Structure 1
């Protein structure tokens, strides 16, 4: 009796909270749906002091103690921010002070400062338990400057002739070199079950090697992701390598365009979307490109903002809003969530600090939540709707779902009207970062944004009296009251008979 009463009481509330959100139905997860956190193992978190050999945190060129166990201990921290994948620098055995992973000695061993092979396997397992994918950097062009191969007479043909001031580059046209790199790459997939590789300086490698590497490595595991990097910032050059089968590349042309826009307030956003559309047109699959503000080989975005006397928090919020809401896989470099400072070289590789203000972390978490909830933000078309000076509005549309993004890079509050012809009429825009609500009118949708703020809206039916819901509620409550009355009469009758 009591359970039936409570069930009837809760039905109206269930009806109320089951109102449609406007989000498209979730589909099978694809790489373009991911958001990636890129970290340097040595500079992230020290979880095991037993592998701290010759560690010196005061020396920017020495090992600092970060390891696989340290990452495992922070996987929830990364996942809670909404990241669905992590990328690690090269984890292979390195020469002395090779904290960055680029001075490889042995492709079949883990760097001892990072931990053991078993600990790395555990890292991958723990990430997969959290439905997070793991990508590692795989060096295809170089080994350490003192690698034994360089002094072995039978391996002279393993390297190109060294030019002054440059490292010795591997000769991938040599069949032995080609076999070694491909076999090692496949071995790591089989041993550890990783989900992807980053291939730096792809443009330095032999094209025939790249094609064979792609074929063999992708054949080793379904849906394996290959991310590349080239020294050129020409989209056409990057597209040439993407056509070889590498899924995506770090979108340096994008970074080159947007970093100077967002590192200072009152910069015009007029080229924000038009440049993006031009770049997208050049790539075979722009949705698989890696969108970045920072990497390990450039001056940190925070440094640029501070150099211009800007508060880095608002600068990062606007930049990340753009990164998360335009086509491409957002790849966020460790420390960005705390606006970590850093100049060139080792100054970029500062130690992560987890004792810091959480405001920016909370903002990234919200962006990650929206990106995971609304497929239009990862799969949708891109269209500029309106722009005036430092304020831009664009939309993403996918299978009936439309999100609208507004970014105000101005030091003044501004409003802007999106004409009705560019959005469906008689609807409303509901703010997803705040509680803003904009109803459509004959003129269109007028958005108001405070200075240095952004908003993500979902286009939805106008809120108001929901007639079907009201009728259903009345019917449920009517049935509930009828039930109570009948139960009361029955109870009263039993008591009377008992007397």
Structure 2
């Protein structure tokens, strides 16, 4: 009985400490609130051995067996990490060994190694049942080297002049080509109810085509998201494409600055945060940009860290903290959660391994929880507060909510002092990752972090007596003591009746 009583006594305190520490009420979800998990279908998970035709896991350029069913089997794994959307490489029917999706041979069929159209529809439905969105690569620039259109005389002007051994380039200025691509793109939306497309090297197409393509596909479904990438990784040019109807672009210029900062210790974040503030000023909608550390077209971030004799785990944690807490949609390449290694080319498309240490997975999960709970992390303004000895502090503010992010990228413990006039005096910063608590003293906040550590704080009122909680506790205790008394009284009467 005493053991049970202590359990009941502890319940109110457990409930108190489980309460959120001031997260603002979440508004309707927008694309800027998403976090995207990008995977290559063939290299992710093999869920159906029946479509394993000419599979060779030892050949980096062959199919490895990943398919739609494999993704369905792992949707909960992806969702549990906090991801709200999945992005797949092209699922269109490809030529032999086109596991990467770049050698399209039929715009109206799924790649048979991945599964049937019905299986893809099931994948989209299962994702939607989990409140997750789905987008995939839609090729508008090129086709496979042996596409049937190349042998049809009437389609000679469907292609641009080919240079060297490059893939055949479509001529989007031809009205027939333009209409063909738009019709196919709208067909997939109507057939499968997908939520977005990724257009690679979209700057290789004429602006008029991009503008019309964007307008037409968005007319097929509300809130349809268009993500793109440019061959020319220039910030000014990236900004132009949001004007053409692309919702977001992969922020490769940002990635190129993130990597050399975080792939080793003792690098300052000052220029990185300043650059992000600059990009926010030139992008039409910086909150819809795709923020990446790496992707399939560059050596993995893990490879960069290992090359510099760094342990990839701490490097990834700091890079991901920055990715998740600055404006833009975080896009995480599959395998990053296990620090998957990989150099350039096919080496970057390694096989996913689900039997690994969960430490980094748990960290990503925590970051996902924070993004979902605090609108300031997805919609807030950005301001650098301090930078000293490779430790940086910046804040995000949205309506009445302020979050403060501190990242110590140095090889030693650091502290940094923030004047209360930029955060409000007589309040406190409650840590959401390491449970740190910093109260203002003498008009200042002093933050302390161990080496290679990050913390996300929320600005809150100073801890004090919580009157509603005290009243609720009294009510709970009163009910509990009444219950104990009734049990005790009934037990005494039972014992008395047996004598």
TM-score class, shorter-chain normalisation, is over 0.9
Q: Within the alignment, does 1:310 sit opposite 2:306 as a pair?
A: no
State the partner residue of 1:262.
Answer: 262
The 8 Å contact of residues 426 and 462 in structure 1, kept in 2 or not, is answered as yes
Taking the aligned partners of 1:188 and 1:44, their CA distance within structure 2 comes to: 23
2:322, 2:140 → 1: CA distance? 32
The Cα shift of 1:317 comes to: 0.2
Aligned partners of 1:206 and 1:315: how far apart in 2?
40
Match of 1:455 in 2: 455
The 1:16/1:366 distance shift into structure 2, 3 A limit, reads closer
Tell whether the 8 Å contact from 2:199 to 2:229 is kept in structure 1 after alignment: yes
| 1:289-326 superposed Cα distances (whole Å, 9 cap, x missing partner) | 00001111111100010000000000000000000000
Match of 1:356 in 2: 356
What is aligned with 2:320?
320
CA drift of 1:232 comes to 1.7
Report what 1:4 is aligned to. none
The answer to which of 147-156 and 329-338 deviates more is 147-156
User: For residue 177 of structure 1, what is the aligned residue in structure 2?
Assistant: 177
Kindly report which structure 2 residues correspond to 1:398-413, keeping only aligned pairs within 5 A, or say none: 398-413=398-413
**2-side partners of 1:268 and 1:11: how far apart?**
45
- Name the counterpart of 1:429: 429
3-state secondary structure, aligned to 1:455: strand
Flag the 1:10–1:355 CA change in 2: closer, same or farther, 3 A.
closer
Quote the residue 2:77 is aligned against: 77
Distance 1:99 1:488, change over 3 A: closer
Map of 1:332 onto structure 2 = 332
For the Cα contact (< 8 Å) 1:37–1:332, is it kept in 2?
Answer: yes
1:139–1:478: structure 2 CA closer, same or farther, 3 Å change rule? closer
Runs ≥4 residues deviating over 3 A: 8-20, 467-489
User: Could you list the per-position Cα deviations for residues 169-223 of structure 1 after superposition, in whole angstroms to 9, with x for gaps in the alignment?
Assistant: 1000111101110000000000000000000001000111111101110000000
Indicate if the aligned counterparts of 1:92 and 1:107 stay in contact, CA closer than 8 A: yes
Say yes or no: does 1:139 pair with 2:135: no
Q: State the match for 1:295 in structure 2.
A: 295
Alignment partners' CA distance in 2, 1:196 and 1:353: 27
Counterpart in 2 of 1:198?
A: 198
Quick one: structure 1 residues 149 and 411, their matched pair in 2 at CA, closer, same or farther if it must change by over 3 Å? same
The CA distance in 2 between the partners of 1:442 and 1:182, in whole Å, is: 63
How far off is 1:167 after superposition? 2.4
Q: How far apart are 1:129 and its partner, in Å?
A: 0.6
CA gap of 1:267–1:483, structure 2 versus 1, over 3 A, is closer
16-25 vs 475-484, which moves further? 475-484
SS of the residue corresponding to residue 271 of structure 1 reads helix
Q: Distance in 2 between matches of 1:477 and 1:66?
A: 55
CA distance in 2: counterparts of 1:65 and 1:300, whole angstroms: 22
Q: Which residue of 1 aligns with 2:279?
A: 279
State the alpha-carbon separation in 2 of the partners of residues 483 and 97 from structure 1: 70
- TM-superposed deviation, 1:461: 1.1
Q: Give 1:13 shift.
A: 6.7
Q: 1:109 to 1:18 in 2, by over 3 A?
A: closer
SS of alignment partner, residue 220 of structure 2: coil
Query: What corresponds to 2:157 in structure 1?
Result: 157
Please tell me whether the aligned partners of residues 228 and 249 of structure 2 are also in contact (alpha carbons under 8 angstroms).
yes
The verdict on how the C-alpha distance between 1:55 and 1:476 changes in structure 2, with shifts beyond 3 A counting, is: closer
Asked if structure 1 preserves the Cα contact closer than 8 Å seen for 2:37 and 2:85, the reply is yes
In structure 2, the residue matched to 1:492 is: none
- Structure 2 gaps, min length 5: 1-7, 490-499
Q: 1:150 to 1:466 in 2, by over 3 A?
A: same
SS at match of 2:144: coil
Instruction: State the distance in 2 between where 1:318 and 1:289 align.
Output: 20
Alignment partners' CA distance in 2, 1:488 and 1:170 = 84
Contact persistence 2:425–2:443 (CA under 8 A): no
- 2:208: which partner in 1? 208
Preserved CA contact (<8 Å) 2:144 2:168:
no
Show the counterpart of 2:218. Answer: 218
In structure 2, the CA distance between the partners of 1:412 and 1:153, relative to structure 1 (3 Å rule), is: same
